Amino acid sequence: MSVPMLKIGAVLSTMAMVTNWMSQTLPSLVGLNGTIISPEGTHERIVSGLYPGSEEGWQVYSTASDPDGRCVCTVVAPARNLCKRDPRSRQLRLLTEQVQNVSQSMEVVDLRTSRDQQYVRDSEPLMRGVDGRLHTYVSNPRTLTTKGLQELKGQMSQLRPLLSVVEQYRLDLQTLTTLRMELYNLSIIMTSIQEEIGAYDYEELQQRVLLLETRLHSCMNKLGCGRLTAVSIPITVRASGSRFGSWMTDAMIPSSDSRVWSMDGYYKGRRVLEYRTMGDFTKGQNFVQHLLPHPWAGTGHVVYNGSLFYNKHQSNILVQYHFRSRSVLLQRSLSGAGYNNTFPYSWGGSSDIDLMADEMGLWAVYTSIPNAGNIMVSRLDSNSLEVLRSWDTGFPKRSAGESFMICGTLYVTNSHLAGAKVHFAYHTNTSSYEYTDIPFHNQYSHISMMDYNPRERALYTWNNGHQVLYNVTLFHVIRSDG
């Protein structure tokens, strides 16, 4: 009985792992939550980022035309629960449950049989003694005495529990007969399922997925900069640190650096924790500590091309700290920029100077007295920290909850508390602005850091001691290389 059961269990386990792989691993293999494949020059929407949302799924919409008459086709990558909707997956789950029930019943019978077998072994010397006495008394009745009869009765009393053991064996035999029928029925169902899906080669499927991954990344490389149209539900990565802080990965494109950095607090902090991977950060393991030579102010730090750029405490000086060499490479004053809570975001926290990076490079968001407290955006040279060009957005910084750059556009939230939304956008390429209405769920009600990472096309936030990610929906233009 055990061999067929193990074979069926192994087959079911393998198929269950395939189902689980398809529903959970496919999004990470693809590397995108959504993409669009369409003719040259078509305007489209894309849900991007490396951290899939729970509500996203494979959806292919009918082709349509944009206002210029060009074809548009939208594809959203697979959901985690996609395979659960497949009737065959439901059959597999039911079969797995049945096999588990059979296995548990077999384990109970096996445990009970082993226990009773040991009891029989322990009783064997007593049984041999009784058998010997009986043979003696049968062959020579005169040897039977009152004392011998009393001893024999005592030994028989000790053997009486064997009757219940024998009865249990009879019941176990009925159980085994039932299990045999269940296994037979499972075998029939398994044969039917194997005949139905036997044409699928899962190794071939995996190769097709890898090929799709390559094509999707190729498509991503053709994507031009996009305009923000939506922010996803929040994805809480970890809960650590105090109410205020910042965390980030390297924003340089391209880069294979998988490290994650965490900086707790906004006032006079110097300790930076460096984790090897996102997985290590999530678990709080495999990290090293950097002790900065100069304390920081605020939470507007950014890691770009292997260096940390931050605002030096009680000054408008920008500092570049190189992680590999553990040394300061550069310091430069951001001329005229307010500091020490002169022009912070609405939540305060010495957030006067906010450094960030996007597809265009390194930026500084700040304000000054000549600008009447309105947000200034300056593009910086990452090698010298010189200001290349500046824009006055006209938006009062104290009315902003946080801000971030995507493709040269500054997006500003109207609050750091619950109910916040992306309220204002300033486009540096046209020196123009617009008011927006892009809501997002402020799950923990106090955001003290929000930055966009162009490598992963996701928003990193520090929300009341929680490290949270948001995917973003961008309106993109696909560029063809011919």
> What is the pLDDT at residue 452?
96
230 touches 473 (CB < 8 A): yes
Instruction: Determine the average pLDDT of the residues in 206-224.
Output: 68
Which of these ranges, 10-14, 207-211, 299-303, 338-342, has the smallest mean pLDDT?
Answer: 10-14
> What is the pLDDT at residue 1?
42
> What is the pLDDT at residue 187?
73
Confidence of residue 87 (pLDDT cuts 50, 70, 90): low
Digit-coded pLDDT (tens) for 152-190 = 777 777 767 777 777 777 777 777 777 777 777 777 777
Confidence of residue 329 (pLDDT cuts 50, 70, 90): very high
Task: Please state, in angstroms and as integers, the Cα–Cα distance from residue 79 to each residue in 33, 44, 94, 267, following that order.
Answer: 9, 21, 22, 41
> What is the pLDDT at residue 39?
36
Neighbour order of strands in the sheet with 421-427: 403-406, 409-413, 421-427, 432-439
> What is the pLDDT at residue 280?
94
> What is the pLDDT at residue 16?
33
Residue 300, pLDDT > 90, answer yes
**CA 407, CA 184: separation in Å to the nearest integer?**
62
228 touches 438 (CB < 8 A): yes
> What is the pLDDT at residue 443?
92
472 touches 460 (CB < 8 A): no
| Secondary structure letter of residue 339 according to DSSP | -
Neighbours of 153 (CB within 10 A): 9
Instruction: Determine the average pLDDT of the residues in 395-413.
Output: 96
Helix axes 87-139, 2-24, angle to 10 degrees: 160
Positions of E strands within 350-464: 354-358, 361-366, 374-380, 387-396, 403-406, 409-413, 421-427, 432-439, 447-453, 458-463
> What is the pLDDT at residue 92?
67
Instruction: Determine the average pLDDT of the residues in 241-266.
Output: 92
Of 326, 329, 269, which Cα lies nearest the Cα of 295?
Answer: 269
Per mean pLDDT, which of 8-17, 164-173, 309-318 is the most reliable?
309-318
**CA 373, CA 395: separation in Å to the nearest integer?**
8
User: How close are the terminal C-alpha atoms of the chain, in Å?
Assistant: 63
Confidence of residue 224 (pLDDT cuts 50, 70, 90): low
Task: Please state, in angstroms and as integers, the Cα–Cα distance from residue 387 to each residue in 250, 251, 253, 336, 391, following that order.
Answer: 21, 19, 21, 12, 11
Digit-coded pLDDT (tens) for 19-37 = 333 333 333 433 333 333 3
Confidence of residue 68 (pLDDT cuts 50, 70, 90): low
For the residues of 205-233, what is the DSSP string, one character each?
HHHHHHHHHHHHHHHHHHB---EEEEE--
Radius of gyration of the chain (CA): 35
> What is the pLDDT at residue 28?
40
Task: Please state, in angstroms and as integers, the Cα–Cα distance from residue 354 to each residue in 228, 338, 453, following that order.
Answer: 20, 11, 14
Positions of E strands within 33-180: 34-35, 43-48, 59-60, 64-65, 71-72, 75-76
Number of H helices, E strands in the chain: 7, 27
Instruction: Determine the average pLDDT of the residues in 42-48.
Output: 34
Task: Please tell me the pTM assigned to this model.
Answer: 0.58
Looking up tokens 């304000």, which residue turns up?
367
Q: Which residues contact 253 (CB under 8 A, 6 or more apart)?
A: 359, 454, 455
Digit-coded pLDDT (tens) for 354-367 = 999 999 999 999 99
Percent of the chain residues past pLDDT 70, beyond the cut = 72
